[in-house]
Chains A and B, each alone.
Chain A
Amino acid sequence: MEHDPAVIAGVCLVAEKAIMQAVDLSAGTREQLKGLYPLTIAVNCSSPAVNLYVTIDADGAVTVASYREESATVRLAGSWRDFLGVAAADDPASALINGNIQISGDTAPLLRLQAVLADLDIDWEAPLAETLGPVAGHQLAAVIRAFTRTSQSTHQRLKRQLSEFILEEGRLSPPQAEQNAFFSAVDDLVLRVDRADSRVKRIKKRLAGLSG
């Protein structure tokens, strides 16, 4: 099914604006991006069938387009689930390399881009201060920062407590060591079944040779 180019153009526009806003709010990132020029990453999503091209220009600007005739430096192909998996991963670079996404072309600039993204430090306080003034902007930023810190620590505490409850109090899941031993035994069994299977085949072949 062909998608409406206007819809895809809208997606590209929103993505491009968001990326450029983040780049402009992170000191030094634009300079680092300039060092990656010329770089075009083709993103071929198989389902839904959408092609996007992310290009870094000479001035460090990032453009996102749905149509491009020049060949891409590096091409990433996969389904939207694969790309979503990479975007949501704690370590996107590792998820990209070890996941289901097929990578072709020159991957070196991709790794350099990953390093630039890892250094991305968005000064989100700046637009607040610009809009509300330095005092109110800073106060609101302090509140948001405190709220984010509390949320993060609460989330981590909850995650840890839930894990302890599942493993130790509720005994809803076996401990990690027990799981590993079980999986290792399953692997061992699979190996032995495979060996037995090939032995049976060999014996059958020999019997067929004797009777023939």
Chain B
Amino acid sequence: MSTHDNATDDTTDFGFERVKKEEKAGRVREVFDSVASQYDLMNDLMSGGLHRLWKRFTIELSAVRPGQTVLDIAGGTGDLAAKFSNLVGKDGNVILSDINAAMLSVGRDRLIDKGALNNISVVQADAQFLPFEDNSIDCITIAFGLRNVTDKAKALASMNRVLKPGGRLLVLEFSKPVSPLLSKIYDAYSFSALPAMGKIIANDPDSYRYLAESIRKHPDQETLLEMVEDAGFVDCRYHNMTGGIVAVHRGIKG
């Protein structure tokens, strides 16, 4: 089972390394600065395009309606934000947020190309310290971002704070495959094929090795469910996808 960050410890996971908490954000930033330009291409290659289906189901679970405000944390290249932009319509608002300026820049350019920026704001923010008013957001999504956050409990509490009562949180993240056989295949793929692809496509095997390691260190389905409940969310549940390689957790602010 994966581990929680220990509140009394001043270190945290950075892949399989332990680093000081104040160092992690910088190290993560270096990784994403490096992969930003090739991020979507690599996502397609690494997941065989499946990340689009995982995100599609997450959007369905959001049940976002016209006029609502949606915050997409760690939204990076903006693919979820573009979809939410259509769903909330001209009376709604989508906030694309990421801690990494390089990823946001790629995302903003892409949204401009799609002509989707009229109801989207772009905000550089740390998920642990969301710069939004209490009870101001209808729906928060964080897709493949929570595992890179230094203090996940603090980030979940921050999300709970800014959500309106009845608002929902959706965490889409890599998780633990339910079948041992799939787990072995997935391990072999992650630690061999993934860095190799990173080297060929982005000339950056280390960053992709970090991605694989950070996935292994991320809490499994049940642990993350507990963390979401501990952050004050109610009616929490999760859905495994692709045999548990990915799970989407849902919580409602009570």
List A residues at the B interface (Cβ < 8 Å): 4-6, 8-10, 12-13, 65-70
Contact = CB atoms under 8 A, between A and B. Distances in A.
A65 B63 CA distance: 11
Interface in B234-254: 239-243, 246, 248
B60 A66 contact: yes
B57 A67 contact: yes
Interface size class of B (residues with CB under 8 A): 10 to 19
B63 A9 contact: no
7 contacts: A5-B248, A6-B246, A9-B54, A9-B60, A67-B57, A67-B61, A68-B60
A19 to B, nearest CB: 15
A79 B242 CA distance: 25
Given A67-B61, A69-B63, A9 B242 contact: no
A66 B57 contact: yes
A155 B116 CA distance: 50
B243 A4 contact: yes
Nearest to B246: A6
Interface string B43-62: 00000001011101100110
Contact of B53 (A9, A68, A69): A9
A6 B239 CA distance: 10
Nearest to B55: A9
Interface of B: 50, 52-54, 56-57, 60-61, 63, 65, 239-243, 246, 248
The list of the 10 closest CB pairs from A to B, nearest first, reads A6-B241, A9-B53, A67-B60, A69-B63, A5-B57, A9-B57, A6-B53, A9-B56, A65-B60, A6-B242
Contacts of A4: 240-243
A68 B243 CA distance: 23
A12 B243 CA distance: 19
B169 to A, nearest CB: 16
Contacts of B54: 6, 9
Nearest to A65: B60
B90 to A, nearest CB: 11
Given A4-B242, A4-B243, A5-B239, A10 B53 contact: yes
Which of B56, B63, B246: most chain A Cβ within 10 A? Answer: B56
A9 B58 CA distance: 10
A52 to B, nearest CB: 11
B149 to A, nearest CB: 24
Contacts of B61: 67
A43 to B, nearest CB: 15
Given A4-B240, A4-B242, A68-B63, 6 more contacts: A4-B243, A6-B57, A6-B242, A9-B53, A13-B56, A67-B60
A6 B60 contact: no
Contact of A5 (B52, B63, B65, B241): B241
Nearest to B49: A10
A70 B87 CA distance: 14
Contacts of A9: 53-54, 56-57, 60
A10 B55 CA distance: 11
A12 B63 contact: no
A68 B63 CA distance: 7
A69 B65 CA distance: 10
B242 A12 contact: no
Which of A4, A6, A13, A68: most chain B Cβ within 10 A? Answer: A6
Nearest to B61: A67
A69 B240 CA distance: 20
B183 to A, nearest CB: 16
A67 B168 CA distance: 15
Which of A9, A13, A65, A66: most chain B Cβ within 10 A? Answer: A9
